[in-house]
Amino acid sequence: DVGNNIKDRFDGASRVHVTNRGNVRRKSRFLLKPHQPEHKPPSKKDLVYFENSPDFCLADSKLGISGTVSRGCNETSIGVDGCDLMCCGRGHSTEVREDIERCNCTFH
């Protein structure tokens, strides 16, 4: 399954930095080096990243991150949409809302 393959690569992604000491015989003159020297260099199939993601739990107006305030979550879910993950383990408030809409129903 393609989705599981991508997820496995994402989970195993490693941080790298670029050096210009690549092999000049190849078309690429740049080389990806592991950020942690004890890690192996990435292969062509490895997923890599250059910088860590910001902490989306904390507000940062420069990056346009609003933090956890007013996030919606699923109180009964243990998945990524669940309140524990969406609210960064900080707890959450429950809001009960009733929406009334016209349905344009006809009865015969």
DSSP state string for 52-63: PPP-TTS-BTTT
Give the model's pLDDT for residue 57.
Answer: 96
Give the model's pLDDT for residue 95.
Answer: 84
pLDDT class for 58, splitting at 50, 70, 90?
Answer: very high
Give the global pTM: 0.57
Give the model's pLDDT for residue 64.
Answer: 94
Contacts of 74 (CB under 8 A, 6+ apart): 81, 82, 83
Give the model's pLDDT for residue 107.
Answer: 84
DSSP class of residue 74 equals: B
| Structure confidence by residue, pLDDT tens digits, 63-91 | 999 999 889 999 999 999 999 999 999 99
